Amino acid sequence: MGENAELRAALAKLGFKQEELAGEMNTALQRLTGKTGSFSDRTVRNLLDGSTRRPTGKTRIALESVFGRSIAELGFRPPSSEALREDSVLRRRFVTATTSIVASSAIPTGSSPSPKRIGTQDVERLQERFAEIIASDHRHGGQRDIEVKAAGMSGEALALQESGSASQRVRSHLHASAAAFRSSAMWAAIDGRRYDAAIAHMQAAQHLAEMSSDAAIKFRIWSHAGTMYRHMGRHTDAAAANQVARNLDLNRRDPMFASLGLARQGAIHGAAGDKNATRRAFHDAQVAMDRADPLAYRPVWMNAFFDQAELHSLALSAYLELGDHARAEYHAHQCLASLRPHMARSKAISTSRLARAQLEQGDLEPAIKTAMSVSRDAAMQHPRVAGMLHVFGKRLQALAPASAEAATWSQYALDTRKAGL
Note whether 175 and 138 are within 8 A (CB).
Answer: no
Output 72 or 317, whichever has higher pLDDT: 317
- pLDDT category of residue 119 using cuts at 50, 70 and 90: confident
Most confident of 51-60, 106-115, 135-144, 357-366: 357-366
pLDDT tens figures, 189-208: 998 888 998 999 999 999 99
Output 54 or 250, whichever has higher pLDDT: 250
Alpha helix positions (H), 162-307: 168-191, 195-212, 215-231, 235-247, 250-253, 255-272, 275-291, 300-305
* CA–CA distance, 302 with 295 (Å, rounded to integer): 13
Among the listed residues 352, 344, 393, the one whose alpha carbon sits nearest the alpha carbon of residue 373: 352
Note whether 52 and 46 are within 8 A (CB).
Answer: yes
Query: Residues 406-415: what's their mean pLDDT?
Result: 92
Could you tell me if residue 198 is left (phi over 0), alpha (psi between -120 and 50 degrees) or otherwise beta? alpha
The pLDDT value given to residue 95: 47
Length of the chain: 421
Among the listed residues 86, 98, 73, the one whose alpha carbon sits nearest the alpha carbon of residue 156: 98
pLDDT tens figures, 317-328: 999 999 999 999
- pLDDT category of residue 81 using cuts at 50, 70 and 90: low
Output 73 or 28, whichever has higher pLDDT: 73
Question: Residue 232 pLDDT more than 60?
Answer: yes
Contacts of 401 (CB under 8 A, 6+ apart): none
Note whether 147 and 120 are within 8 A (CB).
Answer: no
Which pairs with CB-CB distance under 8 Å and at least 24 residues apart come from 39-47?
A: 44/18, 44/19, 45/18, 47/4, 47/7
Q: What is the mean pLDDT of the chain?
A: 84
Written as one letter, the residue type at 221 is I
Tell whether pTM > 0.75: no
Q: Where are the beta strands (DSSP E) in 48-123?
A: none
The pLDDT value given to residue 121: 73
pLDDT tens figures, 36-66: 678 888 898 989 988 888 887 778 877 876 7
Note whether 160 and 103 are within 8 A (CB).
Answer: no
Could you give the angle at the alpha carbon of 267 between the alpha carbons of 237 and 327, nearest 5°? 155
pLDDT tens figures, 175-194: 888 999 999 999 999 988 88
Written as one letter, the residue type at 254 is D
- pLDDT category of residue 140 using cuts at 50, 70 and 90: low
State what percent of residues in the chain have pLDDT above 90.
46
Buried b (16+ CB within 10 A) or exposed e, 403-420: eebbebbeebbeebeeee
* CA–CA distance, 142 with 105 (Å, rounded to integer): 39
Note whether 268 and 277 are within 8 A (CB).
Answer: no
Note whether 347 and 368 are within 8 A (CB).
Answer: no
Contacts of 383 (CB under 8 A, 6+ apart): 142, 191, 192, 193
Output 99 or 420, whichever has higher pLDDT: 420
Domain ranges of the chain: 5-99, 127-213
Question: Residue 96 pLDDT more than 50?
Answer: no
Note whether 370 and 356 are within 8 A (CB).
Answer: no
- pLDDT category of residue 9 using cuts at 50, 70 and 90: confident
pLDDT tens figures, 266-322: 999 999 999 999 999 999 999 999 999 999 999 989 998 899 999 999 999 999 999
The pLDDT value given to residue 209: 92
Determine how many CB atoms are found less than 10 A away from the CB of residue 70. 14
The pLDDT value given to residue 126: 79
The pLDDT value given to residue 338: 94
Determine how many CB atoms are found less than 10 A away from the CB of residue 235. 18
